């Protein structure tokens, strides 16, 4: 799919509308804009054998060095904090700049006449990439907007109900669950997962909590934890929850693009996503997924109406936001898919395993999160053994940066204490991971 085919088709109509000198000026801008947009948003990659597995390709440093050439490289520091948001590739950035110029040139004429059609194209692209139906996906500004709307607009509480969340959930969402419990006069329950764990153990913790809390009505479930990259067995937990009539809000903010999956794999009715983390869109793009037939329990956005509960987009009122970010969505997804979701997942896991395997040999280091491949992603975390305070983590983060030139981030939120999160991106080399390994060995 080309990036803005609808807009290209509408150029003549817009020129007629504007007319005269202004029309000539506007049209020339559009020609300029769209000729650039026609440039490819696929990655420039070296040829490779068709049948190579993602796991084998993950170890091919020369292939990934070519991938890295598609990104602007920051100098001077080894940045291993890519869990915040993702770098756009050069190709995607070019589309974004072009779209920004176009919107800034055309302003309200574009926004009022044509944006709604382009918005539909972008939403359709997200739905297709997620394996969802078009009318199940709404574009938001970030996962927070998606998840907050789901929580705030959930309308099926009764007296004595309980809501559940876990220590590994996103801190702001835990706060919102606590707020929800207070405002809805329901009981909050927080479960704690072990600092190192696996799929079977995680499922056990949740099913035990279900058994102990028979009034459970709504739960937050995170696909990949922002703390240490732990993968939760979402489909199995959701199955157990559904069997007990528990509704699930799934936080996929960190998982889409870090892992290769379809929404139907997760067995959840509602989920929030980011495209500005691992899909590589400009900042300011998220998505809300609401499965067909599930809208009755999520009220429309305050003031909106949807008497038949069939319109997912009535659950969001984004208002004026970054048009160019939305217009760049198809290019970002095309670029992501041209590298391949499975290839990205495997490369990121490989980079994590490089440092985790070494760290596990060191008696003074504690690696956190997934114990096995099924429970871990490219994102990981560690701390000095027994050093779990905020101050301990601050000191460690500073040492990594000042003594070893390795940039990371500290995380607070795990019941077991604070830690340092390590998140490579696909343009990070094994050699750069080696900086971290050397640092770990010297700590």
The residues that touch ligand PLP, with contacts defined as CB under 6 A, are: 142-144, 170, 222, 226, 251, 253-254, 274
Give the tokens for residue 263: 């929404």
Q: Cβ(199)–Cβ(181) under 8 Å?
A: no
- Closest separation between CB of residue 226 and ligand PLP, Å? 3
Q: What distance in Å separates the CA atoms of residue 108 and residue 112, rounded to the nearest whole number? A: 5
| Residue 62 C-beta-side C-alpha neighbours within 13 Å | 3
Q: What distance in Å separates the CA atoms of residue 28 and residue 334, rounded to the nearest whole number? A: 27
- Closest separation between CB of residue 348 and ligand PLP, Å? 15
Question: With respect to ligand PLP, which residue has the nearer C-beta, 226 or 425?
Answer: 226
For 29-53, what is the HEC assignment? HHHHHHHHHCCCCCCCCCCCCCCCC
Question: With respect to ligand PLP, which residue has the nearer C-beta, 285 or 440?
Answer: 285
- Closest separation between CB of residue 360 and ligand PLP, Å? 24
- Closest separation between CB of residue 5 and ligand PLP, Å? 29
- Closest separation between CB of residue 288 and ligand PLP, Å? 11
Question: With respect to ligand PLP, which residue has the nearer C-beta, 58 or 139?
Answer: 139
Nearest partner of 195 among 420, 415, 388, 393, judged by Cα:
415
- Closest separation between CB of residue 199 and ligand PLP, Å? 18
Question: With respect to ligand PLP, which residue has the nearer C-beta, 21 or 319?
Answer: 319
The helix-helix angle for 329-339 and 341-359 (nearest 10°) equals 60
Q: What distance in Å separates the CA atoms of residue 108 and residue 103, rounded to the nearest whole number? A: 8
Question: With respect to ligand PLP, which residue has the nearer C-beta, 170 or 350?
Answer: 170
Question: With respect to ligand PLP, which residue has the nearer C-beta, 122 or 222?
Answer: 222
- Closest separation between CB of residue 340 and ligand PLP, Å? 23
Nearest partner of 70 among 50, 49, 87, 51, judged by Cα:
87
- Closest separation between CB of residue 50 and ligand PLP, Å? 34
Tokens 């670029």 found at: 335
Question: With respect to ligand PLP, which residue has the nearer C-beta, 175 or 211?
Answer: 175
Q: What distance in Å separates the CA atoms of residue 234 and residue 269, rounded to the nearest whole number? A: 12
Question: With respect to ligand PLP, which residue has the nearer C-beta, 222 or 375?
Answer: 222
Q: Cβ(146)–Cβ(272) under 8 Å?
A: yes
Give how far Cα 28 sits from Cα of 12, 23, 105, Å: 11, 8, 11
């Amino acid at each position: 799919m080309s990036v803005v085919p609808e807009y290209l088709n509408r150029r003549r109509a817009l020129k007629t509308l504007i007319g005269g000198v202004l029309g000539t000026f506007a049209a020339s801008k559009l020609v300029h804009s769209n000729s650039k947009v026609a440039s490819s948003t696929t990655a420039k990659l070296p040829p490779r054998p068709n049948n190579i597995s993602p796991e084998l390709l993950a170890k091919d440093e020369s292939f990934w060095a070519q991938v890295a050439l598609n990104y602007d490289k920051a100098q001077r520091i080894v940045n291993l904090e890519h869990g915040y948001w993702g770098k756009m590739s050069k190709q995607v950035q070019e589309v974004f700049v072009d779209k920004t110029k176009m919107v800034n040139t055309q302003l309200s004429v574009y926004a009022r006449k044509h944006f709604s059609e382009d918005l539909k194209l972008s939403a359709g692209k997200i739905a297709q990439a997620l394996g969802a139906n078009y009318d199940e996906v709404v574009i938001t500004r970030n996962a927070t907007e998606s998840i907050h709307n789901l929580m705030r607009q959930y309308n099926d509480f009764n007296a004595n109900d309980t809501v559940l969340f876990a220590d590994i959930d996103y801190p702001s969402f835990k706060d919102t669950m606590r707020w929800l419990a207070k405002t809805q006069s329901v009981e909050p329950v927080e479960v704690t997962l072990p600092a190192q764990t696996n799929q079977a153990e995680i499922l056990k913790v949740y099913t035990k909590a279900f058994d102990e809390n028979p009034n459970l009505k709504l739960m937050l479930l995170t696909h990949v934890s922002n703390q240490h990259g732990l993968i939760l067995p979402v489909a199995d937990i959701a199955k157990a929850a559904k069997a007990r009539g528990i509704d699930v809000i799934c936080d996929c903010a960190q998982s889409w693009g870090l892992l290769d999956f379809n929404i139907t794999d997760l067995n959840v009715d509602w989920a929030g996503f980011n495209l500005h983390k691992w899909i590589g869109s400009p900042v300011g793009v998220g998505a809300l997924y609401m499965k067909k037939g599930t809208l009755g329990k999520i009220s429309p956005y305050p003031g909106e109406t949807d008497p038949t509960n069939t319109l997912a987009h009535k659950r969001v009122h984004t208002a004026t936001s970054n048009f160019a970010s939305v217009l760049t969505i198809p290019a970002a997804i095309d670029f992501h898919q041209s590298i391949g979701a499975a290839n990205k997942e495997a490369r990121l896991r490989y980079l994590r395993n490089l440092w985790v395997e070494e760290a596990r040999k060191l008696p003074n280091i504690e690696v956190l999160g997934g114990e096995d491949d099924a429970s871990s992603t490219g994102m990981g975390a560690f701390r000095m053994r027994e050093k779990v305070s905020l101050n301990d983590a601050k000191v460690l983060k500073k040492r990594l940066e000042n003594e070893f030139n390795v940039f990371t981030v500290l995380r607070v939120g795990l019941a077991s204490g604070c830690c340092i999160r390590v998140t490579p991106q696909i343009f990070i080399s094994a050699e750069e991971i080696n900086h971290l390994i050397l640092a770990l060995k010297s700590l």
